[in-house]
């Protein structure tokens, strides 16, 4: 069953849906300090979901700073605590470069497309 939800207006527009037990979060805009508060709640695993499986679609995120890195690490740790996972889909070159620079791509798999990230 697929459920869609539109997030309220925000400096970083987001949407999320649940597709066959996978929490898919689509972000648009810069993933930086200003967007941190809004995104941390959306990237967190849904309460009571075990294992937590999340795909962060970053195809419309042109910039990510250390706040974005920290958000992904928190989401990863929360998912790992439920024996779940976090994946990134569609990261643009500047975002992927930041992830590789800090080694985040070694713990959070990155896929070119959302479809590839959703394949099991």
Question: Please, which pLDDT band fits residue 4 given cuts at 50, 70 and 90?
Answer: low
Pure H helices in 8-65: 36-43
pTM, two decimals, is 0.84
Mean pLDDT, the chain, rounded, equals 86
Summarised one tens digit per residue, pLDDT across range 39-58 is: 888 887 767 778 889 999 99
Average pLDDT over residues 7-18: 60
Average pLDDT over residues 4-24: 66
User: Can you give the pLDDT at residue 9?
Assistant: 45
What does the longest C-alpha to C-alpha distance in the chain come to? 37
Whether the Cβ atoms of residue 45 and residue 78 lie closer than 8 Å to each other: yes
User: Can you give the pLDDT at residue 11?
Assistant: 53
């Amino acid at each position: 069953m697929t459920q869609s939800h539109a997030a309220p207006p925000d400096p970083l527009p987001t949407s999320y849906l649940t597709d066959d037990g996978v929490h898919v979060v689509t972000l648009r805009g810069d993933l930086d300090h200003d967007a941190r508060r809004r995104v941390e709640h959306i990237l967190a695993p849904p309460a009571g979901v075990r294992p937590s499986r999340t795909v962060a679609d970053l195809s419309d995120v042109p910039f990510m700073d250390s706040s974005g890195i920290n958000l992904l690490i928190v989401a990863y740790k929360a998912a790992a605590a439920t024996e779940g996972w976090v994946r990134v889909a569609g990261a643009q070159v500047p975002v992927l470069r930041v992830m590789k620079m800090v080694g985040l791509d070694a713990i959070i798999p990155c896929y070119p497309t959302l479809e590839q990230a959703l394949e099991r």
